[in-house]
Amino acid sequence: MSYKAVFLDRDDTINYDPGYLGDPRKVKLYPGVGEGIAKLKNDLGFKIIVISNQSGITRGYLTRKDVDAVNSKINQLLSDFNASVDDFFYCPYHPEFDGEEKSKCRKPSPLMVFQAAEKHKVDLKKSYFIGDQLTDVECGNNAGVKTILVLNKISKKEINNLKSPEKKPNFVAIDFLNACKIIEEDIMEKV
């Protein structure tokens, strides 16, 4: 049996990012994220998996324990909505500090998506990736899932880069709830 999943970027997609977020007391979800994840998971039957670059670890700004504490706080906040993230995958490396080989897990590489898909028996053809950066879109495209760019903080310059095929999202959403609505409408078209 295989499952479908929505892969999510973490910082500035589901929670505000003050920069190298390592303090769980600073975790604040974007509006609509709790309701959106609840809908995706409970109503539409998706597994929810976070795929995140966390180079703050290799840079010395935070530890794996800090990242895990933030992830735990996200699930604690989501529990108010009867929702949760099924799993968190993150890459702690950066090529400037660790070299290319160690850093191959970093988005836009699809490696973490493939690892998550294998672990959770996910059918990538039925799955989506929601993120706020071009690297998220490229990661999803590289993994063969449909991609949704959420316009939380993306710059005009980055939007102009969307014209090349490998960087172009399948959909663009004004916010997280809009992204969830896009997924719901897309799967309803196939029924």
**In 3-state terms, what secondary structure has residue 190?**
coil
Q: Which of these is catalytic: 9, 66, 132, 136?
A: 9
Distance CA(144)–CA(122), nearest Å, equals 12
Q: Is the dihedral of CA 114, 4, 64, 53 positive or negative?
A: positive
**In 3-state terms, what secondary structure has residue 119?**
helix
Backbone angles phi, psi at 20, to 5 degrees: 50, 60
Helix orientation angle between 134-143 and 111-120, rounded to the nearest 10 degrees = 50
Beta-carbon neighbour count of residue 118 at 10 Å? 9
Return the residue matching tokens 């604040």: 28
Based on the residue annotation, tell me whether 9 is a catalytic residue of this protein. yes
Tokens of 58: 């290799």
Distance CA(134)–CA(2), nearest Å, equals 28
- 131, β-bridge pairs: 149
Based on the residue annotation, tell me whether 11 is a catalytic residue of this protein. yes
Backbone angles phi, psi at 159, to 5 degrees: -60, -40
Question: What is the set of active-site residues?
Answer: 9, 11
